[in-house]
Structures are given as structure tokens and as C-alpha cells.
Amino acid sequence: LMHSAWGRTEGTRRAVAVVGSALGAAVRRAPFSEVCTVRRMNTGSTSDKKIKSSRLSKFHTLDIPARVAALEKAGFLTSETRAALEGQGLALADANNMIENVLATFGVPMGVALNMTVNGKDYVVPMVLEEPSVVAAVGNIARMIRPSGFTATSDDPIMIGQIHLREVGDIEAAKAALEANFDKLTDLAHGIQPRLLARGGGMRGMEVKKLVYDEPGEVREETLVLNFFMDCRDAMGANMINTTAEHLAPHVEQLANAKVGIKILSNLADRRLVRAGVTIPVERLATSTLDGMQVAQAIAAAYRFAYADPYRACTHNKGVMNGIDPVIIATGNDWRAIEAGAHAYAARDGRYKPLASWKVVASNLVGHIALPMQVGVVGGTIKNHPTAGAALKLLDVSGAQELGQVIAAVGLAQNLAALRALASEGIQRGHMSMHARGLVARVLPDDASQEMRALVLRLLIESKDVKEARALEIYHSLMSPDLQ
């Protein structure tokens, strides 16, 4: 059904993608942790809501006001959101209330990746970063795999809080006392989170673990940790987890007859995983010099290299995070928490491994990614930063779980784009083209015409010597009287 509809109109392909996504949801079984429910976000009925397409032809050729207008016309922007994007962003007075010793705000480009389809729904994805070619790479890969796009699932938004107990007189007795009072501790936690309970969140369990510190050359130490698991709904959850941990700490200390040490959330949110997958016919991967199967096999080989070698796995995962972090930043979420959790999860088996996998199956390249995703759509920076709020409205997600699914798909797309470039033309081509554009804009005099700038840019790229001195040399040679 998917293949036969490939050459038809965008409207037909979108309809087929929705049907295919629904069928796939019925038969696909995703891996999941014991205590979490895997959910595939329902995109809702299309009978009373216009289906939006993120396939906007020649978007990159428009100037910035025209791009904003095109997104508004396509239904991704409201007039309110447009005003927020065109405004000053974070006001200096608001910034002064966010961190200490403020001097200024720091501007970073925000672009949008087009063509993204996840679970049959189209998205325009805001991305904040300074690195060239990433936004275009995500959009190009997303266009390549339309109309089927990516599939994604997510666990319930369960975060982990930790209360560490040291100076424990009797480890086994303390552990038993805490386990016997899980219900009491749960009730205490719920007493300070009534709004979370009303929204369907709350405690989902507890555990007590014995820890052993045995660093060579140091005194061996046995301690306990109480881990509690809380469904944070549409919040990232750091504040509610930390508040709960501090509230429970004196009760835990009394029950265990021990001293409470650190009490805080864990950023290894491995009960809050997102997973994304994609299946691509290999012929779509072909380049001007390689056929699709050659490219697919090279991509799969690059994955196996990363699986076998942590030095390569680190760079492989950096490519994944090149896609993920910009969306996290754009939506006002904590990219440092996501990075920490992702890399810890990559090493969960005691050896650092790639987050995204790529394998050739018959005539398809099949990709998959899984990682912790503690994101929110309420609270924190989202309330204080008008551009972050506008970015979330641009994405049009129903909640934190859907946001996480889109982010995982973007990470998978960016990883594929990087591996495809490495397997064919090399990673530098796209990077250096954008670098050359910025260099020409910076070093040429203000009165240089657009035609002159375009010519210098073309000759600079063709020279493969993208340096300031070379750009000026080309410019001065073109301005030489002998060439006038």
C-alpha cells in the first residue's frame, strides 16, 4: 500500500501514511520496561481538523519574513506565535531573574526542519544551534522517507528520585523497615502533590537498594538508597521530584535509623524512554556516485564500527545529539539533563555503545533509537521565555510524550544524515559550504554586490580552500582593473 502510493499526490500519500501508521500500531510490539506502559500518541480524528503538511517547497529560498508567512499560511503558526517569533525574544529584565550576574542575552540562530512525519502526523521542528547543515540534513532525510515517515513510542513519564542513607547501623533491618512503610511514604508524597494526582500522575513505586563503595585503596563502605518512581505527566519533573525527596527525607531517616545524605532526582530516566524507528527502501539512499545498496551497507558498517569501538560510538552519538539538543533548547527544556541521561544509558551494560542502530534487512535500511527523554511542556523556562513557548506551539504537540517522540525521530534522522554523508561524499562538504557562506558575508566589504558575493562564494567552494585569506584573494582578483 505504501509503495504503490509513492508516486501519487501529497494528499493521497498523507492519507496512506495515516492508515499505514494505524495498521502498524496494531501489529508492532515495542520493547518496554517492566513498570512502564508504552504509548503511541493518538494524532486524533482528521474529520474536524485540517491535516497540515510540512512539505513546503523551496522554503529555503525565501527571505525570513516570507518563511514566517509561509508557515502561518500552512497552519503551523498563529498570529500570536508569529508575533512571539518576530519579537525580541527573552527580555533582559526577565533574563536577570533567571540566572545570576546577568550582562546580556546571547543570540543563537533558530531554524526549522521541514518534512518531518512521525506516527502519520506532520511537524515543523524548531531547532536552535550554531552548527551549519544540521537543520537541512534533518529536513532532507525526513523528505526522503515521506510519506511513511518515522514511527515512535514512549513510556509513561516516570522520573526517579533518590534518597541516600549513610551511617546505617544495620543494613538489613533498615532495608526491611523502609520496605514495610512504602505505603506510608507514598501517602506522604501524594499529600504534597495534589495537582499532580488530579492530572493522573503520582507515585508509581519504590525500591531500596544496597550500595557498596569499594574504590581501590579506600575504605569499603555499605550504604542504602531509596529510589522512588513518580509519573510527572507533562512536566520534566525535576522540581516536583526534588521537593518530594526533601519532604520524605526526615521520615526515611527515622524509619531507617540512619543519616540521610543526598536527596535529588536521577537524570538517568530509564523508565521514561522514547523509541523511534524507520524503514527506508535502499534505492532512496543512492547518490551520484553510489547505488542505494552500497550506501545502505556502508551505513550499516558504520553502525557496527560504533558498536565495536567506544571511540567511534561517542562520535556516532554526538551526531544523534546534534539533532536532539537543538529541539530541546528551542522548546525550553534542559539539554544538559538529556545529554547526561543519554550517555549514561548508552553505557548501561558496562560498555559505551551507539544509541541508534542501522541494519540492512532485505532491500531496506532499518533504523532504531531508544534513549531517556525527560522533557516537559509546562513550567520552568517554557513559561519565562516567549520564544520557547512559540516553538512549542509551532510543534503543535499534545504533551510531553509526543514531544519526546518527535525529538527521538529528529535524532535518528540527523544520525542517518551524518552516516550517509560519511558513507558517500564525506561530512565536510555540507559543513564547509555553510562555513564559506558565513565567511564571505563577514570578510567582503559592505558595498560588495550580491552578484559579487555569489561569485566569490562559488569560486571559494570550488577552490576547496575555505579560508579568509583565500576569499579576499578571490575578491581582489575579481575587482582587478584587468578584469573590469
Q: Is the Cα torsion angle 69, 72, 77, 81 positive or negative in sign?
A: positive
473 is catalytic: no
Distance in angstroms (rounded) separating the CA atoms of residues 256 and 169:
9
334 is catalytic: yes
Q: Which of 10, 80, 86, 131 is catalytic?
A: 131
Distance in angstroms (rounded) separating the CA atoms of residues 114 and 133:
13
Residue 239 backbone class (left: φ over 0; alpha: ψ -120 to 50; beta: rest): alpha
DSSP code at position 355? S
Q: Is the Cα torsion angle 316, 318, 319, 320 positive or negative in sign?
A: positive
Distance in angstroms (rounded) separating the CA atoms of residues 419 and 430:
13
Distance in angstroms (rounded) separating the CA atoms of residues 133 and 335:
20
Q: Which of 190, 318, 343, 435 is catalytic?
A: 318
318 is catalytic: yes
**Whose CA is closest to 107, among 393, 385, 468?**
385
C-alpha to C-alpha distances, 294 to 210, 313, 317, nearest whole angstrom: 51, 22, 23
Secondary structure of residue 168 in the 3-state scheme: coil
Residue 352 CB-density burial (10 A; 0-12 exposed, 13-18 middle, 19+ buried): middle
Phi then psi dihedrals of residue 204, to 5 deg: -125, 10
Distance in angstroms (rounded) separating the CA atoms of residues 279 and 363:
10
Q: Which of 234, 270, 325, 334 is catalytic?
A: 334
Q: Which of 431, 435, 467, 473 is catalytic?
A: 431
Using the CB atoms, write b or e for 283-299: b if 16+ within 10 Å. ebbeeeebebebbbbbb
| Contact between 449 and 147 (Cβ < 8 Å) | no
Quickly list DSSP for 23-91: HHHHH------TT---B------SSSSPPP----TTGGGS-HHHHHHHHHHTTS--HHHHHHHHS--S-
Distance in angstroms (rounded) separating the CA atoms of residues 43 and 25:
12
Q: How many helices (H) and strands (E) does the chain have?
A: 18, 10
446 is catalytic: no
**Whose CA is closest to 33, among 199, 204, 240, 279?**
204
Q: Are β-strands 121-128 and 110-118 bridged in parallel, bridged antiparallel, or unpaired?
A: antiparallel
Question: Residue 351: how many CB atoms within 10 A of its CB?
Answer: 10
The residues annotated as belonging to the active site are: 131, 318, 334, 431
